[in-house]
Structure 1
Amino acid sequence: MPLIASVLFDPADASLHRYDALTLAVVKIWIAMLAVRRETWEEAKVIAPYHVIGTVVKISETGVGSWI
Structure 2
Amino acid sequence: MVMLDADAFGYALGVVKGPLNEQRRAGLTRLMTVFERVLPAIDDEYATRYYTHVRDMAAMAAEIEVQRDM
| TM-score band w.r.t. shorter chain | 0.3 to 0.5
Report which of the two structures shows the higher radius of gyration computed on alpha carbons: 1
State the TM-score, normalizing by the size of structure 1: 0.41
Structure number with the higher helix fraction is 2
State the TM-score, normalizing by the size of structure 2: 0.40
**Larger RCO, structures 1/2 (Cα 8 Å, 6+ apart):** 2
